[in-house]
């Protein structure tokens, strides 16, 4: 058995769900309206590379009085919101996160503002950024708000049109080349056309602006100009067009400026305002957990002299609608033209660029890859391991012991090991509590209480009524622990009750997983993702949606979800009924059998950023306990769960391992050889070797 403590897997923020456009759609939980107002600053240009802009907006009519709203900034290609083309992120100062426009599922992640008693929102600042470097051109700025109480959405009537600059070819950045007076910190900075001072090229705020401008997880650590950052600013302008830079509306910082070289960052008012050249012929050679970078020397003709190079790195992950920001991973001296990037993740695709910086803080264009091919670090030799006990109850304990450190769990989730219906709903709630899923029989065993004590448990949550976990078992546990129970009148009502508990503990859920309640395999396949995302698994009948499930969708405001299983498991009519209950369009992942369905769900989850093939949990598809207990371990390792026939490796699992061999570090088999045979393990090892 394997004994390792793994850190909790956190899926990337940029997960894009498939949602229907809001245009022409009236959500089940509210409606869409227009309010009078919007952006009050006439922004003409913004960059496409995650550089934030700050601007002001207001609401003059059309929204309820004394109400709270989630607020998002949308950059739309048309005058109506469309999740397939929107490219915006909004800064939430309360959570310290940039929130992507997912089309509706994540409203509660946005900043909250309030209208006054007259139904007005006075002029105030909002920070946003365009976050897709593959896009540029004409977009509209739309302010959208969702009423926290009613779910009604209000879109601004004022829609300024702007140009998103392709910074590689048509834009440049400017920043302060001299120290700005501290009394100008956190003030408005703008670039205006010389021919018309009322037309704003771009708009921002000086430091400290209380935002994470470079998306490195630290607020206001950016230092654009001379060391010290008092009053620093950085914003984007189109190349070859004259502008003035103004601070605090009227104070001219720099006049009659023209930046002629794209993809540079110029220090305005510095004695040297000429950027270095781009480093040439960047090459990246993969090593063991590392990449070795080499590049050609840049030149500097501005007079201040080259000070060094900045090495930027990013990964290929992200989404179809967003690119990830480039992060500075190293700064090296002017006489150094190489860098060894170590401590990397095996099998991950990394991208790089290098930029030269001069003493005046001008930054040159990005380096050009000699080959232009992204690099992939070589994988480590993958392992195959088995975690098991003498029966299903002991296997659940063994999985817990190999995953959770002593004294690391306060509240444990316990379900029956005798039958599956109520237990299938346990994963999401266990994820909320960072708990293993432990199984109990007709009586409480010493091995169960020993594991609860090792974990440091004080509270136990039972899943299901006393028909699933008996009153005698509950009373026996109450001798040592505070015991509560989450249940309903049947398996469907129990899944709804668990969903309500998850929502209450997390502050709300908008996405759920749906699976048939009369079989276990499809629900097991989504359990790791339900655990990791702390979202419910709601059970349905093959040909209908139970009333308790319908009520949970409406009450909790669930507006999208993943249906596990083919039409033989969850019929087209049931999917249509679910679609009608939610504002978004549910996604189905279902194959010809349970093994193919599990593979399809794994692939979909990896594509959404919910997990990776770095870790693969493997359990029998003919019984539920081992996979259920393994869902917590799989989630905490950031992996995927596959199901196989007990005595032969199922074809979908074999093809998944073959296709993802370069990424796999560990395949963990849950259960003894009676559950998953040695022959299955041998087949897995053969595919990996």
Q: What is the pTM of this model?
A: 0.56
Give dist(CA 521, CA 689) in Å, integer: 29
Instruction: Establish whether the linkage from the previous residue to 492 is cis, with ω within 30° of 0.
Output: no
Put residue 38 in one of left, alpha, beta given phi > 0 → left and psi -120 to 50 → alpha: left
- Closest-CA residue to 649 (of 589, 598, 614): 598
Q: How far is CA 14 from CA 100, 324, 562, in A?
A: 7, 8, 18
User: In sequence order, what are the residues at sequence separation of 6 or more whose Cβ sits closer than 8 angstroms to the Cβ of residue 253?
Assistant: 176, 180, 189, 245, 246, 247, 268, 269
Q: What is the pLDDT of residue 546?
A: 97
Instruction: For residue 562, give the nearest of 524, 520, 605, 507 by alpha carbon.
Output: 605
Report d(CA 75, CA 161) in Å as an integer: 9
Which position has the token pair 């509270």?
Answer: 459
Contact 415, 422 (CB under 8 A): yes
Token readout for 216 is 């490195």
Q: Does residue 628 contact residue 426 with C-beta atoms inside 8 Å? A: yes
Coil, strand or helix at 668: strand
Distances (CA, A) of 22 to 30, 155, 200, 361: 11, 11, 30, 45
Which mean pLDDT values do the consecutive 10-residue runs of the chain (689 residues) have?
30 31 38 94 90 94 97 92 82 93 86 97 95 91 96 95 94 93 80 76 85 87 86 92 87 91 96 96 81 93 96 76 85 96 78 95 89 58 91 96 94 93 91 96 95 97 95 96 96 97 96 96 96 96 97 96 97 97 95 97 96 95 93 95 97 96 91 96 94
* DSSP code per residue over 13-44: S--------STT---TT--EEEEEEEE-S-B-
Per the CB < 8 A criterion, the answer to whether 370 and 281 are in contact is yes
Chain-centroid distance, C-alpha 210: 22
Q: Are 533 and 511 in contact (CB under 8 A)?
A: yes
Ordered DSSP codes for 551-588: HHHHHHT--EEEEES-TTTS-HHHHHHHHHHSSS--EE
Given the DSSP bridges, would you call strands 53-61 and 121-129 parallel, antiparallel or unpaired?
A: antiparallel
Q: Is 123 exposed, middle or buried (0-12, 13-18, 19+ CB in 10 A)?
A: exposed
As a whole number of angstroms, the distance between CA 131 and CA 314 comes to 14
Beta-bridge partners for 56: 125
- For 105, 431, 433, 654, the CA distances from 506, given in Å and listed in that order, are 15, 11, 10, 37
H/E element, 686: helix 678-688
- Please compute, for residue 615, the number of CA atoms within 13 A of its CA located in the half-sphere on the CB side: 20
Do 166 and 323 meet the contact criterion of CB atoms below 8 Å apart?
Answer: no
Structure tokens at 197: 């001072």
Strands 234-238 and 243-247 come out as unpaired
Neighbour-count burial of 104, counting CB atoms closer than 10 A to its CB (0-12 exposed, 13-18 middle, 19+ buried): buried
Query: 382 CB contacts (<8 Å, ≥6 apart)?
Result: 661, 664, 665, 666, 667, 688
Beta strands in 496-556 (DSSP E): 511-516, 537-540
What is the reported pLDDT for 16? 30
């Amino acid at each position: 058995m394997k004994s390792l403590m793994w850190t909790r897997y956190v899926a990337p923020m940029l997960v894009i769900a498939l949602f229907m456009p809001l245009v022409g759609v009236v959500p089940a939980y509210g409606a869409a309206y227009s309010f009078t107002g919007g952006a009050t600053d006439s922004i003409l240009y913004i960059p496409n590379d995650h550089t934030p802009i700050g601007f002001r907006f207001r609401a003059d009519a059309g929204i309820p009085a004394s109400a709270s709203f989630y607020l998002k900034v949308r950059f739309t290609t048309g005058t109506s919101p469309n999740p397939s083309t929107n490219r915006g992120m909004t800064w939430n100062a309360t959570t310290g996160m940039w929130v992507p426009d997912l089309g509706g599922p994540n409203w509660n992640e946005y900043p909250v503002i309030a209208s006054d008693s007259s139904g007005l929102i006075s002029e105030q600042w909002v920070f946003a950024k365009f976050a897709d470097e593959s896009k540029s051109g004409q977009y509209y700025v739309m302010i959208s708000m969702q009423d926290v109480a009613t779910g009604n959405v209000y879109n601004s009537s004022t829609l300024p049109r702007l140009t998103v600059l392709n910074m590689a070819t048509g834009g440049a950045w400017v920043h302060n080349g001299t120290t700005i007076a501290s009394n100008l910190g956190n003030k408005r900075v703008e670039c205006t056309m010389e021919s018309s001072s009322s037309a704003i090229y771009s708009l921002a705020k000086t430091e400290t602006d209380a935002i994470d401008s470079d998306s490195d997880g630290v607020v206001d650590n950016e230092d654009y100009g001379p060391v010290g950052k008092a009053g620093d600013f950085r914003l984007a302008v189109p190349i070859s067009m004259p502008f003035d830079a103004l601070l605090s509306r009227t104070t001219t910082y720099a006049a009659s400026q023209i930046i002629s070289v794209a993809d540079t960052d110029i220090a305005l008012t510095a004695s040297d305002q000429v950027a270095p050249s781009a480093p040439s012929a960047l090459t990246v050679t993969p090593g063991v957990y590392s990449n070795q970078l080499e590049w050609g020397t840049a030149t500097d003709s501005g007079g201040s002299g080259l000070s060094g190079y900045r090495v930027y790195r990013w990964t290929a992950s992200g989404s179809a609608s967003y690119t990830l920001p480039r992060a500075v991973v190293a700064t090296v001296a002017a006489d150094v033209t190489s860098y060894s990037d170590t401590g990397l993740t095996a099998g991950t695709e990394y991208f790089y660029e290098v930029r030269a910086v001069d003493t005046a803080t001008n930054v040159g264009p990005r380096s050009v890859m000699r080959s232009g091919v992204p690099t992939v670090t070589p994988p480590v030799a993958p392992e195959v391991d088995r975690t098991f006990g003498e029966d299903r109850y002991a296997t659940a304990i063994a999985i817990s012991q190999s995953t959770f450190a002593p004294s690391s769990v306060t509240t444990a989730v316990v379900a029956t090991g005798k039958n599956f219906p109520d237990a299938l709903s346990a994963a999401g709630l266990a994820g909320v509590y960072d708990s293993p899923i432990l199984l109990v029989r007709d009586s409480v065993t010493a091995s169960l209480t020993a594991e609860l004590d090792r974990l440091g448990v004080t509270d136990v949550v039972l899943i299901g009524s006393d028909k699933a976990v008996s009153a005698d078992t509950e009373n026996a546990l109450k001798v040592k622990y505070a015991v509560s129970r989450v249940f309903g009148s049947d398996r469907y009502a129990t899944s709804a009750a668990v969903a309500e508990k998850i929502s209450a503990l997390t502050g709300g859920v908008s996405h759920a997983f749906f699976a048939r309640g009369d079989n276990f395999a499809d629900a097991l396949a989504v359990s790791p993702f339900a655990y990791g995302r702390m979202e419910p698994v709601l059970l349905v009948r093959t040909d209908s949606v139970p009333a308790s499930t319908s009520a949970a969708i409406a009450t909790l405001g669930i507006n999208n979800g993943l249906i596990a299983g083919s039409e033989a498991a969850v019929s087209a009519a049931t999917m249509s009924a679910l679609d009608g209950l939610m504002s978004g369009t549910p996604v189905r992942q279902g194959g010809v059998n349970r093994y193919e369905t599990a593979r399809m769900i794994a692939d979909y989850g990896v594509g959404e950023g919910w997990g990776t093939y770095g870790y693969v949990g493997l359990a029998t598809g003919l019984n539920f306990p081992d996979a259920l207990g393994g869902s917590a371990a799989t989630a905490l390792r950031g992996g995927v769960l596959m199901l196989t026939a007990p005595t032969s490796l199922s074809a979908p699992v074999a093809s998944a391992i073959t296709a993802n061999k370069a990424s796999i570090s560990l395949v963990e088999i849950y259960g003894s050889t009676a559950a998953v045979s040695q022959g299955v393990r041998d087949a897995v090892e053969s595919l990996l070797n």
